[in-house]
Structure 1
């Protein structure tokens, strides 16, 4: 059974607050940073940065590093100290001082911002996957692709590097990730001679059939409340329908499209058809998880902790749950998209020994560390070779599905991502609540996003 994570799921790790108008230079760094969970679908890890790299200052195999990292689990051995011990064994002349960062992501971000802006702070820090543009735009992170070759970034699962890129430079090294999964009732599908649905249409039809027999109250529960989780869910529908929130260079909105209309109409139909709860516009992770664990729903969309939570004491579905990739609109030959959550490693621009920092980061994202994270702590590795290895796949039910999934980051390639996300989730939730039509919601989101990108705020 995996440990309980303490800080990384939208709605659990992050506490969205109202976004207020602020001076252009401060908007992204003083407004709440939402995260743990794209631009257009990132099927490649390629960046537009120059192939040429420069030598990192400092000494690669010796020196001292301060590493700022939040707790990764709330019980058992501390993955951070396990990793540091293994790293120092591999590099005995580099000493790492672990600084335990706040578990609340907003407090973490605010503290780092203050420290680094003042010329201080840790050498390497663990930060949210949606921070790259906001931190890069305010000189709070050093571009890693300035020092590391494209071959290094090619070691990560497709989609992860795209989410860590801003203006052609990669600022974050994917450390461990989270993503959306489809959880399903194995017993109900078997009872009705159904296979696991691979398309949204199949999920809808199967849900109605099982509901009509009185075997489950709901067909599908997900996250539709007016908060970051609704953005994550919408990104999965939108990307699968062929759409994007931002244009290619993240300078204007692309959300008012036929693809977005298809995605949002389908989300709306889930609720109006009764497949999803009427109160779906109020559901965050906790509410959807509770409904599923209580045996009220056939299907659930949630993060990687969903499986272990469904199998915990008190659950009504112990031994009855399976895990699968997200469904698709596009037919059975390919899965849908899973939105990315998780954490990157960043380098402080004020660090005096960047060469040693990079040695640390490369080891932490390499085979040894990534295998420790996966097999000992059930974290989803970012390293493609590790996440597809037999040892990792057999570790647990969730990790067995990971290699079959496709990833999409959120539209965080702009310093104004908090406003962009707010424009998405408020309008998506309004549609689910029945207070806006999909067409009106997309028009309103489009206008709000363009206003934010031009510096006008919300």
Structure 2
């Protein structure tokens, strides 16, 4: 009869094992049902290495919802290509949370690649107000602002001080100083990012917005660019090249090339993002200690910057959407946003950090950046943004190189955008 007792013990062990598996499966099903579990976060390359430590803090506190960081290429175009390939793929869906450029939100939302989010789960009221608009499409929240950015006018404060003039607040002052003061000091006048790529779209939009115009309306459904304001804005850029206070070399500049020209002491004025201020002010720069920053000028006073930065979105097929939303809330919390600035040197979206005395001492441009962000506007919203941007780049570059008049360029751009819409 021993074999009966042995068999009974075996059955008992098997029953215990199976019960354990069932309980484990029930817990797994419960976790899946609650939307909680491990995640992947996809982002463009983290050049400063700040994001890994932030996610380690989350992983320690949430062992059942660990995040795996997937770093894609540094190039925005390549990052977008890899993200969209994954989001289109019906079987893979590797990415749960996506750190997307602010101007991709409308495109991703219109394609149903990211899911709408409940506003009450996130501290939107604590953010700088304009950044929230970059995360919406068709009246719904599809992402949460993570970092922001706005263009600034960097200038040689030593040169302007020697001439006894304040930094320019209008286009007329900028033109006059670039034409008269810069040559006296062996400098070129003004540059931005004027190579035909996304940077030129940004610079062109800023000029049009600063003149009081727009490019698209109604979430990309209406073309609004054919206006006197757009002709004035594009005319400002074209006139600069024609008259020589924008050097022809600037037609080949992206962010890095323009920053280097200013940092090497070759420019009086530069439109760029705040990172260029940090780099130009660092030890070893030819202009360290000689750099000032003000909001971009416009025709009759301060102009309008385009909002940069990135938003956090949840993939439409995210495995654990509740954990994804919880992770986004963590990354946009005040404590973590402070580290985004201090560790990553990225402008946070939390409004109160721009008034923190310790942070202002470490990052003197924060008050100016806050002013610029509050007056900033998003790039044209469209589900076909990539095509919109290509059209803007091509047309504005033709105007700046003299192939078309600003008037003809604006009419052409209106036709091309109408065909895209």
TM-score, with normalisation over the residues of structure 2?
A: 0.85
Going from structure 1 to structure 2, the CA distance change for 1:142 and 1:189 (only over 3 Å counts) comes to same
Q: CA deviation at 1:261?
A: 1.0
1:189 aligns with 2:160: yes
Q: Is the 8 A contact 1:281 1:430 kept in 2?
A: no
1:67 aligns with 2:41: yes
Query: Of 357, 361, 373, which residue of structure 1 is paired with 2:324?
Result: 357
Residue aligning to 2:228: 258
Question: CA–CA distance in 1 between the matches of 2:127 and 2:33?
Answer: 26
Q: CA deviation at 1:445?
A: 0.5
Q: CA deviation at 1:174?
A: 1.3
Residue aligning to 1:409: 378
Q: CA deviation at 1:72?
A: 2.3
Q: 5+ unaligned residues in a row in structure 1: which ranges? A: 1-56, 454-458
Going from structure 1 to structure 2, the CA distance change for 1:353 and 1:277 (only over 3 Å counts) comes to same
Query: Of 203, 212, 234, which residue of structure 1 is paired with 2:204?
Result: 234
Going from structure 1 to structure 2, the CA distance change for 1:109 and 1:211 (only over 3 Å counts) comes to closer
Aligned with 2:195: secondary structure?
coil
Question: CA–CA distance in 2 between the matches of 1:68 and 1:79?
Answer: 15
Going from structure 1 to structure 2, the CA distance change for 1:158 and 1:216 (only over 3 Å counts) comes to farther
Residue aligning to 1:140: 113
Going from structure 1 to structure 2, the CA distance change for 1:280 and 1:419 (only over 3 Å counts) comes to same
Q: Is the 8 A contact 1:216 1:295 kept in 2?
A: no
Residue aligning to 1:172: 143
Residue aligning to 1:447: 415
1:391 aligns with 2:358: yes
1:156 aligns with 2:127: yes
Q: CA deviation at 1:260?
A: 0.5
Question: CA–CA distance in 1 between the matches of 2:165 and 2:329?
Answer: 45
Question: CA–CA distance in 2 between the matches of 1:358 and 1:150?
Answer: 8
Deviations 1:226-271 (A, max 9, x none): 2211110111111111111012342121111011011111112222
Q: 5+ unaligned residues in a row in structure 2: which ranges? A: 1-31
Q: CA deviation at 1:450?
A: 0.6
Residue aligning to 2:338: 371
Query: Of 397, 402, 405, which residue of structure 2 is paired with 1:434?
Result: 402
1:24-423 paired onto structure 2 within 5 Å: 59=34, 63-74=37-48, 78-89=49-60, 91=62, 94-117=65-88, 118-119=90-91, 120-144=93-117, 147-149=118-120, 152-211=123-182, 214-311=184-281, 315-331=285-301, 335-405=302-372, 406-411=375-380, 413-423=381-391
Q: Is the 8 A contact 1:65 1:356 kept in 2?
A: yes
Q: Is the 8 A contact 2:43 2:79 kept in 1?
A: no
Q: CA deviation at 1:122?
A: 1.9
Going from structure 1 to structure 2, the CA distance change for 1:105 and 1:265 (only over 3 Å counts) comes to closer
Q: CA deviation at 1:125?
A: 1.6
Aligned with 2:376: secondary structure?
strand
Question: CA–CA distance in 1 between the matches of 2:193 and 2:161?
Answer: 26
Question: CA–CA distance in 1 between the matches of 2:54 and 2:398?
Answer: 44
Q: Between 418-427 and 65-74, report the one with greater CA deviation.
A: 65-74
Q: Is the 8 A contact 2:192 2:272 kept in 1?
A: yes
Question: CA–CA distance in 1 between the matches of 2:222 and 2:232?
Answer: 21
RMSD: 2.2
Deviations 1:416-435 (A, max 9, x none): 11111111111111111111
Q: CA deviation at 1:378?
A: 1.5
Q: CA deviation at 1:159?
A: 2.1
Going from structure 1 to structure 2, the CA distance change for 1:386 and 1:59 (only over 3 Å counts) comes to farther
Aligned with 1:244: secondary structure?
coil
TM-score, with normalisation over the residues of structure 1?
A: 0.78
Q: Name the count of aligned residue pairs.
A: 386
Deviations 1:284-309 (A, max 9, x none): 32332233223222111112221233
Q: CA deviation at 1:151?
A: 7.2
Q: State the structure with more CA Rg.
A: 2
Q: CA deviation at 1:91?
A: 4.6
Question: CA–CA distance in 2 between the matches of 1:361 and 1:387?
Answer: 21
Q: Is the 8 A contact 1:323 1:401 kept in 2?
A: yes
Q: CA deviation at 1:188?
A: 0.3
Question: CA–CA distance in 2 between the matches of 1:111 and 1:206?
Answer: 45
Question: CA–CA distance in 2 between the matches of 1:116 and 1:262?
Answer: 40
Question: CA–CA distance in 2 between the matches of 1:360 and 1:231?
Answer: 32
Question: CA–CA distance in 1 between the matches of 2:81 and 2:179?
Answer: 46
Question: CA–CA distance in 2 between the matches of 1:65 and 1:204?
Answer: 51
